[in-house]
Amino acid sequence: MTVTKMVTFDLAERRMLLSTRQRNDMGVLNDIALALTIAARLPKDVLDHSVEVSNDLDGPASVLGLLHDTVEEGVASQAEIASICPEDITTAMVAITRLPDETYASYIDRLKVNPLAVKVKRVDLAKNLARPNPKGSLRARYLRALATLAQT
């Protein structure tokens, strides 16, 4: 499933989506639509990255791919994510969000117990590594994280 990069929702459309959300066979599509209303608040470069991550995934992982940077970027809270997403995505969102005073190694260790978060983080890291000229220290960090996550 491919998500378009041009996403705009006005407040009335968002309220309609929130009020009519139903868990059914189309649940993932509803979740993606709701996730896009939040992800659209991200700076363009971060939104583009989130869409790229999402496009390489499916189902709940695709939804989490759209949302994975929203809390860290300050455009959404965990409570807001919990208000629109099912529990599996909400739990994975907590796992994939690095805490302010957390070391990167501790973050990866905490994240690796959630299979959905691991699936999305692997794609996130691969996309980050594919960027032109990632800084040496970031490249090394991402490679260590991928090696740690490969053991899960």
pLDDT at 152: 84
Write out the chain's pLDDT in tens, 152 residues: 454 444 444 444 544 444 444 344 456 778 888 999 999 999 999 999 999 999 999 999 999 999 999 999 999 999 999 998 999 999 999 999 999 999 999 999 999 999 999 999 999 999 999 988 778 889 999 999 999 999 98
Second-level CATH architecture of 11-150: Orthogonal Bundle (1.10)
Residues 34 and 15: their CA atoms lie apart, in Å, by: 10
Looking at residue 24, its amino acid is N
C-alpha distances (whole Å) from 24 to each of 2, 18, 61, 80, 123 are 20, 15, 17, 21, 27
pLDDT at 26: 56
């969102």: which residue's tokens?
93
Residues 21 and 37: their CA atoms lie apart, in Å, by: 13
**Quick one: DSSP state of residue 98?**
P
Map out the domains of the chain as residue ranges. Answer: 11-150
Phi and psi (nearest 5°) for 61?
-65, -35
Contact of 50 with 24, CB cutoff 8 Å: no
pLDDT at 70: 97
pLDDT at 90: 96
